[in-house]
Amino acid sequence: MPVVASFMYRDGKRAEELPLSATPISFKENEFAWIGLHAPTAEEMATLQQAYGLHQLAVEDALNAQQIAKVDVYGEQLFVLAKTAHLEGDKITYGETSLFVGRHHIISVRQGSARAHTELRAQLEASPLLLQKGPDYVLHAIIDFIVDGYLPVVQTIEDRVLAMEKHMLVAFLEREQIRRIFRLRRQVILFQRIIGPMSELVGKLVHLDLPCIDEHAKPYFRDVHDHVRRVEAMLGGLREVITSVFEASNLLEQQRQGTITRQLAAWAAILAVPTAIAGIYGMNFVHMPELQTRYGYFVVLAIIAVLCSFLFYRFRKAGWI
């Protein structure tokens, strides 16, 4: 069985290791079990279902890795399904952590989650005063651990977008960079769809009267709710930044193209002067004025130079060159 840890806790301290079997366990008031599993099979979950009285629908949801974040109540037990997220390249990969909470047990089932709860368990075991309050405080710690994992994902994407924004100010965005902007925007939109149900989940733990959730634990869940809303606000701002980067890139590109067009038009106007004069004197007519003038060639060159210089000065002053 893919068991990460299975221990009995007594008065907030780790006691004996619990064997996983279908036989129900009798708990005292100051005891509870914390069991952590990673990608268990249906048969393995059936064993836990029989031992701890887990609801069949909750077990099915824990085994199905295509669920949204939610809170379900089954009698005196609570089933919480939270979504995890971690970044792989430019893609956000999602997993699930299902939590079965009873008066004397909490069972976590991870599916596709890259972050184990080993470090979290060690931190809680170092604070027995918090652990002795029961499974609802462990539930808070796990959800807080999951939500805290969202922040590095958002910050990493934000750093990449800001780097692209900086590059955009000095050079054109290449086709692959534009495609990357749209990929990041899509990831942010999908992440927002995950954060919405997560915010509702934590909100229910704060505001609803649920079994296994002590009233004194509500402020802890309220703090997690604030963290979720902070991430939600950051995603909204990040989505706007991504959109503004693309729009600003288009505007700058249009501006640069307009500048190039004006420069080409200015040079075309300047070159039109000698072209026109040379074209006139290149005609094959016998009787043309000033053909016999001794210094006519030099006069024409001077006129061309003066006119071109005048046009160059005017266009440069107007900012076209």
Domains of the chain with bracketed CATH: 3-252 (3.30.460.20), 253-318 (1.20.58.340)
Q: Identify which of 166, 17, 138, 111 has the alpha carbon closest to the alpha carbon of residue 25.
A: 17
What's the pLDDT score for residue 70?
Answer: 94
Give the model's pLDDT for residue 1.
Answer: 47
Which residues of the chain carry a pLDDT beneath 50? 1
Q: Determine the pLDDT at residue 284.
A: 63
Contact 61, 98 (CB under 8 A): yes
Give the amino acid at 52: Y
Run of H or E residues at 275: helix 218-281
The residues near 64 (Cβ < 8 Å, ≥ 6 apart) are none
For residue 31, give the nearest of 44, 45, 18, 50 by alpha carbon: 18
pLDDT at residue number 41? 87
The pLDDT value recorded for residue 72 is 94
CA distance 229 to 227: 5
Helix (H) or strand (E) holding 135: helix 135-148
Mark 108-129 as b/e (b = at least 16 C-beta within 10 Å). Answer: bbbbebebebeebbeebbeeee
Q: HSE of 233 in the Cβ direction (CA atoms, 13 Å)? A: 6
Predicted local confidence at residue 289, as pLDDT: 66
**Rama region for 197: left / alpha / beta (φ>0; ψ in -120 to 50; rest):** alpha
Q: Where are the extended beta strands (E) located within 57-184?
A: 70-74, 77-88, 91-101, 105-111
- Residue 101 backbone class (left: φ over 0; alpha: ψ -120 to 50; beta: rest): beta
Report the C-alpha gap between 151 and 154 in whole angstroms. 5
Closest CA to 134 of 35, 26, 212, 24: 212
Contact 239, 189 (CB under 8 A): yes
For residue 183, what is the enclosing H or E element?
helix 175-207
How many CB atoms sit inside 10 A of residue 9's CB? 24
